[in-house]
């Protein structure tokens, strides 16, 4: 029988997932605490052919010390924590299902949109501080021009959720989807047009060599004055210090991030801005999303392939 070791803590946190795993693989070894450190990961996975993981990282040292490992099955939404060249060099196959938490992340992004345009978090903070203060004048989401940067699995769900709000939707993606765009009344645009026209801009890009550092200070200055910026994608895509500066002078009216360059977050000026809403990377923190992610990891045990550097999702 295939020797499976489950490093992802989802299976210990959710008895239903643990039961499903043990029903399929009765001898599976399931972690009860973090095994993210190199030595802990090596010790935990030694002698096993399959690793079911969350965001654990596999260095050359880790892989060199796991000669029996054949498959890494991912429960994660992205795979930017894995090095395809290392996996390929060791002949290790990877199982991964894209878009597994698309509903959870898109719902959170919609909530953050409404929050920042209506100053919900600001008003809540005032109330908690004993102040019954009317918030700064907000605006409706309804009727706005919303830009979706990255119209893949999550971006498409975002478009669907925006339908009742009678918004104008602009989308920028490296691959157009004419049928989807026509069905949901989406206008495909270049990045420059997206930045110039969007009153609300939501980022749904993967983290890779083409997107890391994309939203520099120079790019942020291309955004429509008074834009609201939402990032539930990945940290390192947006220059956080530059966003803080533009919130302070009003070039950006409001921003909401669920992801940061360094996590736990280390961006005091950004966090201190009254026009900023920050969350602790909780886009997938919904019971249904955790179940879907865990089951995707189980599916990856049997559905997998050797990853190729430069080829999706490592492009």
Point out the residues that are catalytic: 234, 263, 281
Q: Residue 179: how many CB atoms within 10 A of its CB?
A: 8
Rounded Cα gap, residues 21 and 159, in angstroms: 34
Sheet holding 93-95, edge to edge: 29-30, 4-6, 50-53, 71-74, 93-95
Rounded Cα gap, residues 267 and 132, in angstroms: 29
3-state secondary structure of 253: strand
| C-alpha of 267 from chain center | 19
Instruction: Compute φ and ψ for 194, nearest 5 degrees.
Output: -60, -45
- Torsion angle (degrees, nearest 10) of CA 215, 211, 202, 256: -60
Which segments of 119-260 does DSSP mark as H helices, in order? 120-128, 153-162, 178-183, 191-197, 217-220, 240-249
Rounded Cα gap, residues 8 and 44, in angstroms: 12
Rounded Cα gap, residues 156 and 176, in angstroms: 12
Rounded Cα gap, residues 65 and 5, in angstroms: 15
Rounded Cα gap, residues 87 and 305, in angstroms: 10
| Structural contact between residues 26 and 71, judged by C-beta atoms closer than 8 angstroms | no
> Which has the closest alpha carbon to 212: 78, 102, 108?
78
Q: Which residue has the tokens 């605490």?
A: 33
């Amino acid at each position: 029988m295939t020797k499976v070791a489950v490093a992802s803590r989802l299976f210990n946190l959710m008895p239903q997932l643990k039961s499903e795993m043990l029903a399929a693989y009765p001898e599976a070894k399931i972690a009860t605490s973090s095994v993210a450190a190199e030595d802990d990961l090596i010790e935990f996975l030694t002698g096993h052919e399959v690793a079911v993981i969350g965001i654990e990282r596999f260095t050359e040292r880790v892989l060199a010390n796991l000669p029996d490992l054949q498959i890494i099955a991912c429960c994660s939404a992205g795979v930017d924590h894995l090095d395809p060249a290392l996996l390929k060099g060791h002949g290790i196959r990877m199982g991964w299902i894209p878009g597994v938490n698309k509903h959870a992340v898109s719902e959170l992004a919609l909530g953050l949109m409404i929050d920042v345009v209506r100053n919900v978090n600001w008003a809540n903070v005032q109330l908690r501080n004993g102040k019954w203060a009317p918030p700064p004048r907000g605006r409706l989401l309804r009727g706005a021009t919303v830009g979706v940067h990255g119209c893949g699995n999550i971006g498409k769900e975002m478009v669907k959720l925006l339908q009742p709000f009678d918004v104008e939707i602009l989308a920028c993606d490296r691959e157009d989807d004419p049928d989807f765009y026509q069905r949901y009344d989406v206008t495909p645009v270049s990045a420059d047009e997206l930045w110039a026209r969007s009153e609300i801009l939501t980022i749904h890009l993967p983290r890779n060599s083409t997107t890391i550092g994309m939203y520099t200070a120079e790019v942020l200055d291309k955004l429509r004055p008074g834009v609201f910026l939402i990032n539930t994608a990945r940290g390192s895509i947006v220059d956080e210090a530059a966003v803080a500066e533009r919130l302070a002078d009003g070039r950006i009216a409001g921003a909401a991030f669920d992801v940061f360059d360094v996590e736990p977050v280390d961006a005091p000026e950004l966090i201190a801005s009254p026009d900023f809403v920050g969350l602790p990377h909780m886009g997938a923190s919904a019971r249904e999303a955790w179940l879907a992610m865990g089951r995707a990891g189980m599916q990856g045990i049997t559905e997998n392939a050797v990853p190729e550097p430069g080829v999706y999702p490592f492009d």
